[in-house]
Amino acid sequence: MPLPAHVEQGQGEFVIDGQFGIALQGHTEARLDRAKQRFLDTLSRETGIPLWREAQFNQPRFVIQTAGPSAPVQQLGEDESYRLEVSPTKVQLTAANPIGVLRGLQTFLQLVRVTPSGFSVPVVTIDDKPRFPWRGLMIDTSRHFMPLDVIERNLDGMEAVKLNVFHWHITDDQGFRAESKKFPLLQEKGSDGLYYTQDQIRQVIGYARDRGIRVVPEFDMPCHTTSWFVGYPELASGKSPYQVARSWGVHNAAMDPTKESTYQFVDSFIGEMAALFPDAYFHIGGDECNGKEWTANPQIQAFMHAHNIPNNAALQAYFTAKVQKLVAAHGKIMEGWDEVLQPGTPKDVVIQSWRGQASLDEAARQGYRSLLSTGYYIDLNQPAAEHYLVDPLGDTATALTPAQQSLILGGEAAMWSEFVTPENIDSRIWPRTAAIAERLWSPQQARDVDSMYRRLSVVAQKLQYYDLQPRAITNVMLQRMSGDADPTPLKVLAAVVAPPKGYSREGLASYNAFTPLNRLVDAVPPESDTAREFHDIATKIAAGNATPRDWQQAREWLSLWRDNDAKLEPLLVQSDLTVELVPLSHTLTHVAEMGIQALDALQNNDPVSVAKRQQNIAFLKSAEKPQAVLLLMVAPSVELLVQATKTE
So which residues are the catalytic ones?
A: 288
Nearest residue relative to ligand ACM (C-beta):
287
- Report the residue number, 186 or 289, with the smaller CB distance to ligand ACM: 289
Q: How far is CA 363 from CA 263, 372, 395, 408, in A?
A: 27, 11, 16, 9
- Report the residue number, 64 or 350, with the smaller CB distance to ligand ACM: 350
DSSP, residue by residue, 215-278:
EEEE---SBS-HHHHHH-GGGBSSPSP-----S-S----BB-TT-HHHHHHHHHHHHHHHHH--
Q: Where are the alpha helices (DSSP H) in 330-369?
A: 357-365
- Report the residue number, 108 or 368, with the smaller CB distance to ligand ACM: 368
Q: Which of 323, 371, 314 is nearest to 346 (CA)?
A: 323
Amino acid occupying residue 398: T
Task: State the minimum distance, in angstroms, from the CB of residue 392 to ligand ACM.
Answer: 17
In this structure, are strands 408-415 and 350-353 parallel, antiparallel, or unpaired?
Answer: unpaired
Dihedral, 169, 174, 178, 180 alpha carbons, nearest 10? 130
DSSP, residue by residue, 445-492:
T---HHHHHHHHHHHHHHGGGGT--TTHHHHHHHHHHHTTS--HHHHH
Cβ-contact 178, 196 below 8 angstroms:
yes
Task: State the minimum distance, in angstroms, from the CB of residue 506 to ligand ACM.
Answer: 14
Amino acid occupying residue 432: R
- Report the residue number, 252 or 564, with the smaller CB distance to ligand ACM: 252
Residue 518 buriedness (CB in 10 A; 0-12 / 13-18 / 19+): middle
| HSE, side-chain direction, 13 A CA sphere, residue 205 | 19
Three-class SS of residue 419? coil
Cβ-contact 642, 544 below 8 angstroms:
no
Quote the CA–CA distance of 101 and 79 in Å, as a whole number.
11
- Report the residue number, 102 or 170, with the smaller CB distance to ligand ACM: 170
Task: State the minimum distance, in angstroms, from the CB of residue 79 to ligand ACM.
Answer: 31
Task: State the minimum distance, in angstroms, from the CB of residue 249 to ligand ACM.
Answer: 11
Biggest CA–CA distance in the chain, Å, is 81
Residue 236 buriedness (CB in 10 A; 0-12 / 13-18 / 19+): buried
Name beta bridge partners: 176.
Answer: 171
Task: State the minimum distance, in angstroms, from the CB of residue 169 to ligand ACM.
Answer: 9
- Report the residue number, 78 or 287, with the smaller CB distance to ligand ACM: 287
Three-class SS of residue 114? strand
Task: State the minimum distance, in angstroms, from the CB of residue 525 to ligand ACM.
Answer: 22
- Report the residue number, 361 or 418, with the smaller CB distance to ligand ACM: 418
Quote the CA–CA distance of 299 and 281 in Å, as a whole number.
34
Residue 298 buriedness (CB in 10 A; 0-12 / 13-18 / 19+): exposed
- Report the residue number, 413 or 572, with the smaller CB distance to ligand ACM: 413
Task: State the minimum distance, in angstroms, from the CB of residue 155 to ligand ACM.
Answer: 22
Read off φ and ψ for residue 248, nearest 5 degrees. -90, 180
Task: State the minimum distance, in angstroms, from the CB of residue 287 to ligand ACM.
Answer: 4
- Report the residue number, 17 or 288, with the smaller CB distance to ligand ACM: 288
Give me the residues that bind ligand ACM (CB under 6 A), please: 287-288, 337, 354
Task: State the minimum distance, in angstroms, from the CB of residue 408 to ligand ACM.
Answer: 18
DSSP, residue by residue, 169-232:
E-EETTEE-B--SSSTHHHHHHSTT--B-HHHHHHHHHHHHHTT-EEEEE---SBS-HHHHHH-
- Report the residue number, 103 or 167, with the smaller CB distance to ligand ACM: 167
Give the angle 104-106-111 at the CA atoms, nearest 5°. 95
Task: State the minimum distance, in angstroms, from the CB of residue 337 to ligand ACM.
Answer: 5
Quote the CA–CA distance of 83 and 100 in Å, as a whole number.
8
Quote the CA–CA distance of 327 and 321 in Å, as a whole number.
10
